[in-house]
Amino acid sequence: MNDSEGGVVEADVAEVPTSFDESVILLDVREDDEWQRGHADGARHIPMGDVPARMGELDSDATLYVVCHAGGRSMRVAQYLARNGFDPINVTGGMLAWSGAGRRVVTDDGTDGTV
Task: Give start and end residues of each alpha helix (H) in the chain.
Answer: 32-37, 51-54, 72-83, 94-100
Distant-in-sequence, close-in-space partners of 34: CB < 8 Å, separation ≥ 6:
69, 95
Report, as residue numbers or ranges, the catalytic residues. Answer: 68
Beta strands across the sheet bearing 63-67: 2-3, 9-11, 88-91, 63-67, 24-28, 44-45
